[in-house]
Amino acid sequence: MNTPPDSSPSPTSSRPDHPVHFTPALARIVATVSVGFVVTQLDVTIVNIALARIATDLHANVARLQWIVDAYTLAFAVLMLSGGVLGDRYGARRMYAAGLVVFALASLACGIAANPVLLIAARALQGAGAAAMLPNSLALLNEACRHERTLRARAVGLWTAAGAVSIAAGPIAGGLLIAAFGWRSIFLVNLPLCAAGLAATLMWIPASRRAGAASASQAASRDASQSASEAAPQAATSADTPAQRPRSLDVRGQLLAVIALTAFTGAVIECRPLGFAHWAVWGGFVLALAAGAAFVALEARIEAPMLPLAMLRNRTFSAAVLFGVCVNLTYYGTVFVLALFLQHARGQSPLQAGLTFIPLTGGFLLSNIASGHVVARYGTRLPMIGGALVAGLGYALLIPVDANTPLIALLAAFLLIPAGMGLAVPAMTTTVLASVEPARAGTASALLNTARQAGGAVGVAAFGALTGGGAAAEVVSGLHADTAISAALLLVAAWLAWNMRADAAHLAHQAHPTHPAQAATDAARTKASRQGKRAYE
């Protein structure tokens, strides 16, 4: 098989009207939007550490624990696209700030929940806040970098590294908080973080950041002869001013997406305790299939769909999204099972489990930072392929593990998994942003993260079901199956990246748009060349 050429333009080139500079103002914006990513990712690991205590205090079985994890992930996934659309319509800055407020209030509700049902409902509200934050944080970041490829690769690496820090800190912070104040404190810790993020948003992110760039982009599309200097002043318009002809919210599509994904995940979760023959299980699968088919049919015919199906016809974009699904499905599902394995099968306390998790979560930090430099130098395909293979090897090393395996034997796997994923995920994100028009960055990032979170929800549901009722032997057996499936899925992810065929000219234009005057000159030369050829013939 021939290796496809890397689609990324030369990292040494830059847009002539926007030099590559990582300014203090940009650093403040990266720090501010990273707060949203930090709080959304913190709950991935910190909640898993608390599952054993939550089960004891609230009398929750494994299925209820899966719902506590997945209520957040499902709401996050199904509302993500609407969050991106609302950001495109009302301004990414405004929606990002609103998401911080909702997430903080939901975290307070989680901290005072008296039973599993209330906790599950509050977790779903947390997911709604996260869905407003994440796509708009990435859109703000993309616009702050003016869609310049090299600068964006570095900024995305730092943004992702901030999430990696929270994932790394989650287990140990969760263990310490649970030991000192109880499991409720892991939710209440979000309150000061969200308050700091909201204050920074109001102070450091200018209202001119997002829609201004979109407006300039639209102006350039309308008039190819307009010079860059004439288009530049338009970048001063308000980011909270809706772009021209903003898309409306697809309410029917949103409801169908909620029904389809919730029904499918619920059926997977309840399949083990109720059995497939139970009406709620097979009925859930039927409902998910019907709602999913109705969703696709609706999105194909309406003028302003929540899911722009045309984006999926871009092979680079689709491959990157599927890559993200594989990554999140394997990681979220495995972290859930490992939390049960360490505390149920090995008898560790939350603090001991948190300490054990440190290599698995902390390994993201260095590889995320390194990924930005690797992408800027070599493009996106190489780190995606290599990262998937390294992480897949880590999962494969966990296949023979049992309750008596020495902890030191887990170290290699716990380092390889985050090293590979941390290398691949920023490259995947950069690929998605580079494959769409700048004005659709919010929707594209929302679609990517919707697919990733949906994959994570399915991973928790499917891998959690493999652990049965949570007994030690069942958890060990489930871990064996989980890690084998994960290794296979990451081989599929590497294959997707290997076969990614990108339109190099399109991606180069997105990263380094041709000056309108130069475009006109090139077109004239092409026309003259063709006329000369015909005359010669």
The predicted model gives 15-19 an average pLDDT of 43
Q: Do 258 and 400 belong to one domain? A: no
* pLDDT, greater one: 136 or 10: 136
User: Is there a single domain that holds both residue 125 and residue 270?
Assistant: no
Task: Write out pLDDT tens, residues 338-385.
Answer: 999 999 899 899 999 988 988 887 777 777 777 777 887 888 888 999
d(CA 387, CA 464): 25
Per residue in 51-67, pLDDT (tens digit) is: 989 999 999 988 899 99
Determine phi and psi for 12, rounding to 5 degrees.
-85, -15
408 and 463: one domain? yes
Top pLDDT among 6 and 312 is at 312
Return the number of other C-beta atoms located less than 10 Å from residue 468's C-beta. Answer: 15
Q: Tell me what pLDDT residue 57 has.
A: 94
Give the list of residues 6+ apart from residue 308 with CB closer than 8 angstroms, or none. Answer: 299, 440, 443, 447
Residues 402 and 472 occupy one common structural domain: yes
Among 127-131, 153-157, 325-329, 418-422, whose mean pLDDT is lowest? Answer: 153-157
Region 225-241: what's the mean pLDDT?
Answer: 34
pLDDT above 60 for 228? no
Q: Within this chain, do residues 318 and 402 fall inside the same structural domain, yes or no?
A: yes
Residue 378 belongs to some domain of the structure: yes
349 and 484 belong to one structural domain: yes
Asked if the model's pLDDT at residue 430 lies above 60, the reply is yes
Range of the domain at 357: 24-205+306-502
Per-residue pLDDT band for 216 (boundaries 50, 70, 90) equals: very low
* pLDDT range class, residue 224, cuts 50, 70, 90: very low
CB hemisphere CA count around 517 (13 angstroms): 5
Percent of the chain with pLDDT over 90: 40
pLDDT of residue 321: 92
Q: Across residues 392-397, what is the average pLDDT? A: 96
> Backbone phi, then psi, for 239, in 5-degree steps?
-75, -20
pLDDT at 20: 56
**pLDDT for 524 beyond 60:** no
The domain that contains 196 carries what CATH number?
1.20.1250.20
pLDDT of residue 442: 63
Using an 8 Å Cβ cutoff, are 133 and 40 in contact?
yes
Residues 295, 182 share a domain? no
Token digits of residue 500: 């990614």
Task: Name the domain boundary from 287, 305, 323.
Answer: 305
Write the CB contacts of 445 (distance below 8 Å, at least 6 apart in sequence). 84, 134, 135, 138, 139, 142, 429, 432, 433
Domain closes at, from 305, 327, 349: 305
Residues 449, 488: one domain? yes
**Do 414 and 315 lie in a common domain?**
yes
Q: Would you say residue 442 lies in a domain? A: yes
For the ranges 4-18, 223-237, 362-376, 516-530, the lowest mean pLDDT is seen at 223-237
pLDDT at 147: 64
- Is residue 68 one of the residues assigned to a domain? yes
- Tell me if 443 is assigned to some domain: yes
Gap between the Cα atoms of 480 and 440, Å rounded:
41
Tokens 């919010």 belong to 442
Where does the pLDDT of residue 515 fall: very low under 50, low under 70, confident under 90, or very high at 90 and above? very low
**Residue 187 located in a structural domain:** yes
Write down the residue that tokens 């109001």 correspond to: 202
**259 and 313 housed in the same domain:** no
The rounded distance, in Å, linking the Cα atoms of 413 and 396 is 8
| Cα atoms in the Cβ-side hemisphere of radius 13 Å centred on 513 | 20
Residue 234 lies in a domain: no
pLDDT score of 338: 93
Please tell me the predicted confidence (pLDDT) of residue 208: 52
Q: What is the pLDDT of residue 209?
A: 42
Q: Which range, 120-134, 425-439, 501-515, is most confident? A: 120-134
Q: How many independent structural domains does the chain possess?
A: 2
pLDDT at residue number 246? 57
Q: Are residues 323 and 442 in the same domain?
A: yes
Residue 14 lies in a domain: no
Entry field: residues in the chain: 537
- Residue 34 confidence (pLDDT) above 90: yes
Same domain, 75 and 167: yes
Domain for residue 268, yes or no? yes
Top pLDDT among 297 and 211 is at 297
Residue with tokens 């998937």: 388
Instruction: Taking residues 149-177, report their average pLDDT.
Output: 82
Whole-prediction pTM value?
Answer: 0.75
Report residue 218's pLDDT band, with 50, 70 and 90 as the boundaries.
very low
